[in-house]
Amino acid sequence: MTDQPGNEVTRRGVLAGTAAVALTALPEAGSAASTPAATRQDGPVPAPVLMPVSFEVNGQAVSLTLDTRTSLLDALREHLQLTGTKKGCDHGQCGACTIMLDGQRINACLTLAVMHQGSKITTIEGLGTPDNLHPMQAAFIKHDGYQCGYCTPGQICSAVGMLAEVKANVPSFATSDLSGPIQATDAEIRERMSGNLCRCGAYSNILDALNEVKGELA
């Protein structure tokens, strides 16, 4: 690369020089930049605020004392061991944590548990049992509406809530006629279930399951 012998630029030399520069940029142990943020604050870190909350979960009264920052999803999974409700994105984007709250479907990751004093909550464990399946659970099995199964509890809870919305004539973006009873057409179902994602791509089978059950739950 140059006219001076022995000064050739090599790949090994470039990598060694880059590593040396990176190492010199690292903060020294014990410096302010390497100290965790919690220890750099003025004064001690405030203790969490605890609050009692009581609600009904799957027909049973439950009382907990929770950090006020605890999501309803974490209260169900970590404190009540109802792990059927899944934590997917934890940002309300995938629908894996969908449950029924006072008869309406919600994303449990987007709400705080202490906000729901006195509420009635239904998770996938409360919809049916292996010996007495909910019609929607049975339809998902019949039509193979799942593959890995991770999104399935949220899909089923969302499907039950979605059909209740249709029955109550709650319109969606896909509703073209607001003058009469809303029908659970394929377009309505796809639009209303669009917040529940399935990485395995079992959407056509989920639609088949919903179409079978919609008359029974209407």
**Mean pLDDT, the chain, as a whole number?**
88
Domain ranges of the chain: 48-127, 128-218
**Rounded Cα gap, residues 48 and 70, in angstroms:** 10
- The CATH class given to the 128-218 domain equals mainly alpha
First to last CA, the chain: 78
| pLDDT value, residue 204 | 95
**Rounded Cα gap, residues 96 and 67, in angstroms:** 23
CB 198 within 8 A of CB 151: yes
CB 114 within 8 A of CB 68: yes
Two tokens, residue 105: 């479907």
**Rounded Cα gap, residues 148 and 165, in angstroms:** 28
Residue-level length of the chain: 218
pLDDT band at 153 (very low <50, low <70, confident <90, very high): very high
Side chain identity, residue 6: G
| pLDDT value, residue 44 | 84
Question: Measured on CA atoms in the order 122, 127, 131, 132, is the torsion positive or negative?
Answer: positive
pTM over 0.85: no
pLDDT band at 179 (very low <50, low <70, confident <90, very high): confident
Look at 45 and 55; give whichever has higher pLDDT: 55
Burial state string for 123-151 with b = 16 or more CB within 10 A and e = fewer than 16: bbbbbeeeeeebebbebbeebebbeeebb
- The CATH class given to the 48-127 domain equals alpha beta
pLDDT band at 113 (very low <50, low <70, confident <90, very high): very high
* Residue whose structure tokens are 């279930």: 193
| pLDDT value, residue 109 | 98
| pLDDT value, residue 42 | 73
